[in-house]
Chains A and B, each alone.
Chain A
Amino acid sequence: MTYKVIGKRVKRVEDPRLLTGGALFVGDVNLPNMLHAAFFRSDYAHAKIKSIDTSRAKEIPGVVGVYTAEDMGEAWEPGPPLVSPPPTLEGVVFNSRRQVPLVKDKVKHAGEIIAVVVAESRYIAEDAVEEIFVDYEPLPAVTDLEKCLEPGHPLVHDDLDTNLAAHLVQNKGDYEAAKKEADLVLKRKFKLDRGAAAAMENRGIVVDWDQKNQHLMVWDTTQSPIPIRNGMATRLGLRTHQVRVVAPFVGGGFGPKIMMFYAEEMVLPWLTMKLNRPVKWIEDRKENFYATTQEREQVQEVEMALSKEGRILGIKQKIIHDTGAFDPYGLTTPLNTQSHSMGGYDVQNYNSELFVVFTNKIIVTPVRGAGRPQGIYIVERMLDIASKELKLDPRDVRRLNFIPKDAFPYNHEIIDQAFVELILDSGDYLPAYEKALEKIEYDKFVQEEQPRLRAEGKHVGIGVVPFIETTGVGPYEGARVAVEPSGKISAATGVGTQGQSHMTSFAQIIAEELGVEVEDVSLVSGDTAEIHWGTGTFASRGAVVAGNAVLAAASDVRKKVLKLASKILETPEDELELGGGLVRVVDIPEKSISLGELAVLANPFRGAVEPGTEPGLESIKYFGPAYGATAFGVHGMILEVDPETMMIKIHKYIAVEDCGTMLNPLVVEGQIHGGVSMGIGNAYYEKLHYDENAQLLNASLVDYLIPTSAEMPHIEVYHENTPAPNNKLGTKGVGEAGAIPVPAAFAQALENALPDFNLEITETPLSPNRLFELLYKSEE
């Protein structure tokens, strides 16, 4: 009998260390002789620097140095362009402007770094920062997405004659022709605003240049250790093997930690090499609001053409996407918005024009969901509004439009974030949708519960929203798997871990393949000394891309094990089985050899091996999909609005997820829970308020509200399984799923809860305040 552990609810093997304080975080790294850095950041969002005076800061005892852009000399250069625009799309305008380590002449967003202090302690460094004086010439800030492209508007980048960062058009079919056939053409404008990723652990870096070994050691809270290593080596003129980057345990990534290179990641390595001493910087919470990337701000004008039965004939869309002051991450986020604007629906005609604009706000790069929630929001809102206009049941409208099961793989015929055609690999959407309606007891709610509660004066509403999530895109990921002489398994992958349970779910794959216990597999993720190639943890691709690389490497080791065992046990390979850490002859179980013994035999100290033989029971394999694996889900909620305070209580929350094969349902459900909490924040609490000077007005966790356990409902998670056809495991990603449909479901439920008001929600995030304003407005 083959040993099965993939798909089992295995408890996380990393938890004992995490829960008992035994896990290493960057903040735990303390080295002898270590210095501490603190940054002087601009209060102004847009200002010319007239002069910088660091003299008083330098005089403070314990300060080792204070540096500005000028001091960096030749080493000063902007960060690399991380993601280029898709070469597969024609007519793309893209103006690449990247963040700099230290500002030279003009500040482009509040929080940009003008000087760095290095001192014997962080306390001293912070005190010295207070003594730096910068004379500015404040400039009018660029904040308004719609106005910033008007002629004569102030410019973020003076060397460009526009605030346009990018422009492109994606087209499928013929929208204008479809519109002529339509019974209803709906037009709406949507405003989607910014939120913070607000990971529990802020960013942090410790760097240590070893002069004698000519080696740079880096601990970094990055989601992408290998590209950081490669980039640092290039920037510093070192060879890659002279730099080792470790991303140890990281307390949440959510996207911003894959941004490269943050200014601090450019400054610190330069400092340690200059000073020959280790240097540490841990971002504080206030810095995090100004220095770590954010997302979701867009203004969209959307047009949807429908038949009177509710069939979508076409969608036309104009997106203005705010990239902040720079655009290092290319077009990933707005391309994702386009990829999700047709949702899981069969839409034959689509025309989408995208304007990406520079503003004097914090840089935008993907945050969990990464453009997807905006796409799902507009398509689901449009369908809700259309259902009302056409007097149709919103459920029937969705049922009518889902891509049918036999239409997969379904080509949406636009280019996605991986630069290839957006092909939805597989799916079976209708049954998942029906399951969600059944689990939330939709009929019972609208027929019995809601009338009863309304009679009691309660404002209760229901929202059910389906969504797709494109996941598991390339380019590739790798894994190394090796049998140790002890018989235990060592494995490594280049994707960093920020809470995704890689050490458990990847170990399950290896354990099943090699017939060992999950506990006997030790997986290192995020250490460039352990594996040389890889990209990182992003786009919900760990289980798909790294997972299948792990499977490929484990399968290869299994082959080597069987080949060697066959020779030693003098039995054909097909008569052998792996289990309990042994290779056995199926019919004669007592005839066996342990994996450890095989590992020793595979690496002889003397004697001659056959030509062409590789030593050890080890393999490094890679996996790169032609296109992604698209997951599907449906979330439903029943909520109650307090008509006085506008506070919300979620009575019921259900999620039906189809992420193909589940490596570990516990882990999948954990991802959904985390995503939903982020989604609830995006829907009703978390909004970064910028004023007209691009000043952030709620840069603290007192004023920026993150849902706590009190705001979190009990979440019921149900599963469907349509295995991905293009990878052996059949996995699809699920890391971002939870966050994607929540704002749309929230809006639907709120409108449903407040039928007496002429409420039409076309913006997110909302808040009790904002809902009050909208209701007040609708009454007028």
Chain B
Amino acid sequence: MKVEGEHLFTGTQQQVWDLFRDTEVMAAALPGTKKMELIGENTYEAVMNVRVGPVVGEFSGQLVISNEDHPNSYTMTVDGRGKPGFLKGVGDVILTNQGENQTLMGYTGEVQIGGKLAAVGQRLIDTVAKSIISQAFETLDNALAERVSAEAEGREAAYRKSSESDYAATVAKDLIKNVLKRTGSSEDS
């Protein structure tokens, strides 16, 4: 499965870079993340609860950051496994300065899935992946705003963690959007 897209952040390239390289923020942004720990140089160990339609279960695995070109790009490799199957992905993240306080984050990647996740979750995985990503961006936007204002005010940033119910709501919203798109009854792009 191919994953690609882009998102415009309000912040400098350095701020966005720092955001992405902050384990706590990333763990908060990905719904269902139970644990994310730095276990070696650029290597994280993560435990994440995944819910794809009828397929539910915990995934554990490693996330490795490589090809780091500060503050422009890096490669992320994910290798996770759990009762619902397995997941393996490689993706590139590229940040580009889009003028004052605007940073475009572009990502492309290839994800392999297997087991129940592939067999039963296949028809939903696309929507779910998009939902996870859009949910993550929403959280990251908020986190970035909080970070920027905290920095300006000289206080500690307080993040709101994305909850699983937020995520479930996003999935439901995206699924309905897809159905409406298919039946042609929505103007939504």
Residues of B within 8 A of A45 (CB): 114
Query: In the bound complex, how far is the Cα of B86 from the Cα of A289, in angstroms?
Result: 18
Nearest-CB residue, chain A, relative to B88: A138
Are the C-beta atoms of A699 and B113 separated by less than 8 Å?
no
Are the C-beta atoms of B119 and A696 separated by less than 8 Å?
yes
**Which residues B74-131 have CB closer than 8 A to chain A?**
83, 85-86, 88, 112-116, 118-120, 122-123
Check if A50 is an interface residue, CB within 8 A of chain B: no
Query: In the bound complex, how far is the Cα of B85 from the Cα of A110, in angstroms?
Result: 11
Query: In the bound complex, how far is the Cα of B83 from the Cα of A45, in angstroms?
Result: 16
| Contacts A/B (CB < 8 Å), 29 sampled | A43-B85, A43-B86, A43-B114, A44-B114, A45-B114, A130-B83, A138-B88, A286-B119, A289-B119, A689-B122, A693-B112, A693-B114, A695-B112, A695-B114, A695-B118, A695-B119, A696-B118, A696-B119, A697-B118, A698-B119, A698-B122, A699-B119, A699-B120, A700-B119, A700-B120, A702-B120, A703-B120, A703-B122, A703-B123
Query: In the bound complex, how far is the Cα of B112 from the Cα of A695, in angstroms?
Result: 9
How far, in Å, is A218 (CB) from chain B's closest CB? 30
Are the C-beta atoms of A697 and B122 separated by less than 8 Å?
yes
Query: In the bound complex, how far is the Cα of B123 from the Cα of A700, in angstroms?
Result: 11
Residues of A within 8 A of B85 (CB): 43
Are the C-beta atoms of B86 and A44 separated by less than 8 Å?
yes
Nearest-CB residue, chain B, relative to A690: B118
Are the C-beta atoms of B120 and A695 separated by less than 8 Å?
no
Check if A691 is an interface residue, CB within 8 A of chain B: yes
Residues of A within 8 A of B118 (CB): 691, 695-697
Most chain A C-beta atoms within 10 Å of own C-beta, residue among B88, B113, B116, B120: B120
Nearest-CB residue, chain B, relative to A703: B123
Residues of A within 8 A of B122 (CB): 689, 697-698, 703
Query: In the bound complex, how far is the Cα of B114 from the Cα of A702, in angstroms?
Result: 18
Knowing that A691-B112, A697-B118, A703-B122 are A-B contacts, what are 11 other residue pairs whose CB atoms are under 8 Å apart, sorted by A's residue number? A43-B85, A43-B86, A43-B115, A45-B114, A130-B83, A695-B112, A695-B114, A696-B118, A697-B122, A699-B120, A700-B120
Query: In the bound complex, how far is the Cα of B85 from the Cα of A693, in angstroms?
Result: 13
Residues of A within 8 A of B115 (CB): 43, 110, 695
Query: In the bound complex, how far is the Cα of B118 from the Cα of A417, in angstroms?
Result: 37
Nearest-CB residue, chain A, relative to B83: A130
Residues of B within 8 A of A286 (CB): 116, 119-120
Query: In the bound complex, how far is the Cα of B118 from the Cα of A289, in angstroms?
Result: 13
Binary flags per residue of A511-531, CB closer than 8 Å to B gives 1, else 0: 000000000000000000000
Residues of B within 8 A of A44 (CB): 86, 114
How far, in Å, is A663 (CB) from chain B's closest CB? 42
What's the A-B contact tally at a CB cutoff of 8 Å? Answer: 43
Are the C-beta atoms of A697 and B112 separated by less than 8 Å?
no
**Which residues A671-730 have CB closer than 8 A to chain B?**
689, 691, 693, 695-700, 702-703
Query: In the bound complex, how far is the Cα of B31 from the Cα of A473, in angstroms?
Result: 60
Query: In the bound complex, how far is the Cα of B120 from the Cα of A699, in angstroms?
Result: 6
How far, in Å, is A287 (CB) from chain B's closest CB? 11
A residues apposed to B, CB below 8 Å:
43-45, 110, 130, 138, 286, 289, 689, 691, 693, 695-700, 702-703
Query: In the bound complex, how far is the Cα of B113 from the Cα of A699, in angstroms?
Result: 14
Most chain B C-beta atoms within 10 Å of own C-beta, residue among A691, A697, A698, A703: A697
Residues of B within 8 A of A699 (CB): 119-120
Nearest-CB residue, chain B, relative to A133: B81
Residues of A within 8 A of B113 (CB): 695
Nearest-CB residue, chain A, relative to B115: A43
When A and B form their complex, which 8 residue pairs have the shortest distance between CB atoms, in order from nearest? A43-B115, A699-B119, A695-B118, A697-B122, A695-B114, A43-B114, A43-B85, A700-B120
Residues of A within 8 A of B120 (CB): 286, 699-700, 702-703
**Which residues B35-89 have CB closer than 8 A to chain A?**
83, 85-86, 88
Residues of B within 8 A of A703 (CB): 120, 122-123
Most chain A C-beta atoms within 10 Å of own C-beta, residue among B116, B119, B122: B119
Query: In the bound complex, how far is the Cα of B118 from the Cα of A691, in angstroms?
Result: 9
Residues of A within 8 A of B112 (CB): 691, 693, 695
Nearest-CB residue, chain B, relative to A699: B119
Nearest-CB residue, chain A, relative to B120: A700
Residues of A within 8 A of B86 (CB): 43-44
Nearest-CB residue, chain B, relative to A44: B114
Query: In the bound complex, how far is the Cα of B85 from the Cα of A195, in angstroms?
Result: 23
Most chain B C-beta atoms within 10 Å of own C-beta, residue among A43, A110, A138: A43
Query: In the bound complex, how far is the Cα of B82 from the Cα of A130, in angstroms?
Result: 9
Query: In the bound complex, how far is the Cα of B85 from the Cα of A45, in angstroms?
Result: 12
Residues of A within 8 A of B88 (CB): 138
Nearest-CB residue, chain A, relative to B113: A695
Query: In the bound complex, how far is the Cα of B118 from the Cα of A703, in angstroms?
Result: 11
Query: In the bound complex, how far is the Cα of B3 from the Cα of A676, in angstroms?
Result: 41
Query: In the bound complex, how far is the Cα of B117 from the Cα of A700, in angstroms?
Result: 12
Query: In the bound complex, how far is the Cα of B118 from the Cα of A696, in angstroms?
Result: 7
Most chain B C-beta atoms within 10 Å of own C-beta, residue among A693, A695, A699, A700: A695
Nearest-CB residue, chain B, relative to A691: B118
Are the C-beta atoms of B83 and A697 separated by less than 8 Å?
no
Nearest-CB residue, chain B, relative to A694: B114
Query: In the bound complex, how far is the Cα of B120 from the Cα of A435, in angstroms?
Result: 46
Query: In the bound complex, how far is the Cα of B104 from the Cα of A773, in angstroms?
Result: 35
Query: In the bound complex, how far is the Cα of B88 from the Cα of A771, in angstroms?
Result: 32
Nearest-CB residue, chain B, relative to A696: B119
Query: In the bound complex, how far is the Cα of B34 from the Cα of A118, in angstroms?
Result: 32
Query: In the bound complex, how far is the Cα of B120 from the Cα of A695, in angstroms?
Result: 11
Query: In the bound complex, how far is the Cα of B119 from the Cα of A529, in angstroms?
Result: 41
Residues of B within 8 A of A702 (CB): 120, 123
Nearest-CB residue, chain B, relative to A45: B114
How far, in Å, is B86 (CB) from chain A's closest CB? 6
Residues of A within 8 A of B116 (CB): 43, 286
Query: In the bound complex, how far is the Cα of B115 from the Cα of A110, in angstroms?
Result: 8
How far, in Å, is A691 (CB) from chain B's closest CB? 7
Nearest-CB residue, chain B, relative to A704: B119
How far, in Å, is B109 (CB) from chain A's closest CB? 16
Nearest-CB residue, chain B, relative to A700: B120
How far, in Å, is B53 (CB) from chain A's closest CB? 9
How far, in Å, is A111 (CB) from chain B's closest CB? 10
Residues of B within 8 A of A689 (CB): 122
Nearest-CB residue, chain B, relative to A692: B112
Query: In the bound complex, how far is the Cα of B86 from the Cα of A291, in angstroms?
Result: 19
Nearest-CB residue, chain B, relative to A43: B115
Known: A43-B85, A44-B86, A130-B83. A110 touches B114 (CB 8 A): yes
How far, in Å, is B106 (CB) from chain A's closest CB? 25
How far, in Å, is A360 (CB) from chain B's closest CB? 12
Residues of B within 8 A of A691 (CB): 112, 118
